[in-house]
Amino acid sequence: MNPSRTRFVLVVAALVALHAAAVASVGVLPAAWGPALAATVYLPLWPLSALGMPVFGPAPSGGWAGPNAAGWCVLLVAWAVLWSIPVLGVATLWRRAGSPPKA
């Protein structure tokens, strides 16, 4: 595999892992982060749920339903796609800055 592609995959995987860790530890993070992290979980899943895809587990009494296994898989793919965009942008700027000017 191309070394730059390997770096790209590793950086995206690290960002997705950090994102998942932040969601998992939302109780110890500042309270202001809670709604933003909840949005990164529920916003990608609501349209799929509306289309009939079972991405949520049973709702606890009086609470929000959490993602089921299929929902978590969808989230990991969605987060990987979303994190790929800024990583590609930074990589493109990095390559341009390192390349010689065109005559």
| Plot region of 65 (φ>0 → left; ψ -120 to 50 → alpha; else → beta) | beta
pLDDT of residue 101: 59
Mean pLDDT of the chain: 89
pLDDT of residue 43: 93
Could you give the percent of the chain with pLDDT greater than 90? 64
- What is the distance between the alpha carbons of residues 45 and 53, in angstroms, rounded to a whole number? 9
pLDDT of residue 25: 92
Q: Tell me: the pLDDT tens digits for 55-86?
A: 998 877 567 888 999 999 999 999 999 999 99
pLDDT of residue 58: 85
Nearest partner of 68 among 48, 87, 47, 54, judged by Cα: 54
